Amino acid sequence: MEDGDQDNESQQAEPHSEKKLPAGRNSSFRVFTVSLGVLYLLILAGIITRYISVTIENNQLHINFNKLSNSYNQSQTDMKHVQDKIAGKSCPEGWKRFGCSCYFKSIEKKSWSDSRRDCQSRGSHLIIFNSKEEQDFAMELNNNGEFWIGLWTVLFSTKLKWTWVDGSPLKERFWATGELGNPKGWLYVSCCDQQLKLTQSSFSYKVHRHWICEK
């Protein structure tokens, strides 16, 4: 009976031993599991990195948008300030407004120096051309021939240069034809003859013209 019992026990133990995985397959499964975990971590790290990158880009876009929005709002404010300044600026009686300035046209005629002093007494200066449109306005304002403008020759070191009465140098020329050229003496300028050229006059109290003041 003992031998039979041992045979039965060995037969019952054999099926249990067949369910165990071989050592090689168990090792391969472990490697696969680890590899899958590493791959998952890499994918997760990539997603997190991309999320951070997109978040940073969105934040930068938001910052740039705010800067542009603030710049636009500031531009609108500045423009409104200029418009309000232009609209709110009233010119004295007898003056006409063009752009941001007021202009006075004389009825009588005087020399360039006396014309300049008259403008100064009115808190202004002889007209300075800053644009072709301003020159056209002045020519339309004065339909009585030539008129004095705030351009003359000033001595710098040993050289005479064309200079506006506010001290700025003559850089742009808006008249259609003719050039003043290099000054060869103390000269004053009037605008404009029938050919739309500026006229030069030497230092003399004998030449009298109309004039336009600007402020």
Whether 107 and 210 share a structural domain = yes
pLDDT in tens, 10-25: 445 455 445 555 666 6
pLDDT at 176: 47
Question: CA dihedral defined by 74, 76, 78, 81, rounded to 10 degrees?
Answer: -140
Maximum pairwise Cα distance, the chain: 158
* Euclidean distance between CA atoms 114 and 55, whole angstroms: 71
Shortest CA distance to 214 belongs to which of 76, 100, 61?
100
What pTM was estimated for this model as a whole? 0.55
Residue 14 located in a structural domain: no
* Euclidean distance between CA atoms 160 and 180, whole angstroms: 13
* Domain extent for 135: 96-214
105 contacts 139 by C-beta, under 8 angstroms: no
* Euclidean distance between CA atoms 121 and 35, whole angstroms: 94
pLDDT at 115: 95
Q: Where are the alpha helices (DSSP H) in the chain?
A: 2-18, 23-88, 112-121, 132-141
Whether 172 and 114 share a structural domain = yes
CA 69 and chain centroid, separation? 14
Residue 13 located in a structural domain: no
Residues 6+ apart with CB under 8 A from 96: 102, 103, 104, 105, 141
pLDDT in tens, 107-162: 999 999 999 999 999 999 999 998 888 988 988 888 778 899 998 888 877 788 88
Q: Which residue in this structure is represented by tokens 């004095």? A: 148
Whether 34 and 76 share a structural domain = yes
Whether 162 and 65 share a structural domain = no
Residue 46 located in a structural domain: yes
Shortest CA distance to 110 belongs to which of 5, 1, 213?
213
192 contacts 198 by C-beta, under 8 angstroms: yes
Residue 63 located in a structural domain: yes
pLDDT at 72: 86
